[in-house]
């Protein structure tokens, strides 16, 4: 079945209902680092357009003092013991060595001082980090989710976000993948079961209409 036909099939069975934005959002930018944004590297892909769209979201949310969190993946052990079994599955993790430029936040995002960077070892931004406690302290109820890859770390973060009780908004133009088919399938599945797939314009309008600076 084509995605449109599948969407109707799932919708008829009660999937894909809208969660909607809450009152207290945070932006999570997943793994937008050169290791993933340089298409010449093993784990990389051309994410120029996605970075442009993420910047639009950052500009809209910064003006409202919305909390912004970035994640990166970095391994400190030269033998990659801190990558665990994952290192057996994909050799590209060799490009994720701590202290190298490949694991720094892509400078095109223009990260500002005070915008937190969380270092993770695995897919979800929640696993092995203090993201949950940070969000709870800020009373966040909505995650505006961007970054890469749609089928990997974005998806894992979205599923965990829902399981922790957050309204997860995956921004369609602001997430990317190495494979278009994996990207589209993941967006379909996330929208059906775990998150709302929204547009950048939806986020910008939400910020302008519902948020006050310094919320």
First to last CA, the chain: 44
Query: What pLDDT is stored for residue 213 in this prediction?
Result: 53
pLDDT of 15 higher than 70: yes
What is the secondary structure of 55-81 as a DSSP string?
HHHHHHHHTTT--EEEEEE-B--TT-G
Is the CB of residue 105 less than 8 Å from the CB of residue 69?
no
What mean pLDDT do residues 128-134 have?
98
User: Percent of the chain scored above 90 by pLDDT?
Assistant: 84
Residue from 9, 11, 27 nearest 203 by CA: 27
For residue 8, the model assigns a pLDDT of: 79
Residue 212 banded pLDDT, cuts 50, 70, 90: low
The CATH superfamily assigned to 22-210 is Isochorismatase-like (3.40.50.850)
pLDDT value for 215 = 47
Catalytic residue among 51, 125, 153, 187: 153
- What pLDDT does 14 receive? 78
Q: What are the domain boundaries of the chain?
A: 22-210
Q: Worst-scoring range by mean pLDDT, 40-44, 154-158, 209-213?
A: 209-213
> Would you call the peptide bond into 94 cis, given omega within 30 degrees of 0 as the criterion?
no
148 is catalytic: no
pTM of the model: 0.94
pLDDT score at 79: 87
State yes or no: pLDDT of 206 exceeds 50: yes
Does the pLDDT value for residue 4 go beyond 80? no
pLDDT at 13: 81
């Amino acid at each position: 079945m084509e995605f449109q036909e599948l969407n109707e099939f799932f919708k008829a069975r009660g999937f894909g209902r809208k969660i909607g934005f809450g009152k207290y959002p945070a932006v999570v930018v997943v793994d937008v680092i050169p290791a993933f944004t340089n298409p010449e590297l093993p784990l990389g892909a051309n994410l120029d357009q996605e970075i442009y769209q993420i910047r639009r979201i950052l500009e809209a949310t910064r003006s409202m003092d919305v909390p912004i969190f970035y994640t990166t993946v970095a391994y400190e052990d030269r033998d990659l013991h801190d990558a665990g079994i994952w290192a057996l599955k994909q050799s590209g993790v060799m490009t994720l060595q701590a202290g190298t430029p490949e694991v720094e936040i892509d400078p095109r995002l223009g990260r500002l001082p005070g915008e937190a960077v969380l270092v993770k070892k695995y897919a979800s931004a929640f696993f092995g980090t203090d993201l949950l406690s940070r969000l709870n302290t800020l009373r966040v109820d909505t995650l505006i989710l961007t970054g890469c890859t749609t089928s990997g770390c974005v998806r894992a973060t979205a599923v965990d976000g829902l399981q922790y009780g957050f309204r997860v908004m995956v921004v369609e133009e602001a997430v990317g993948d190495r494979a278009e088919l994996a990207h589209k399938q993941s967006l379909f599945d996330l929208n059906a079961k775990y998150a709302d797939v929204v547009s950048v314009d939806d986020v910008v309008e939400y910020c302008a209409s519902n948020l006050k600076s310094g919320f």
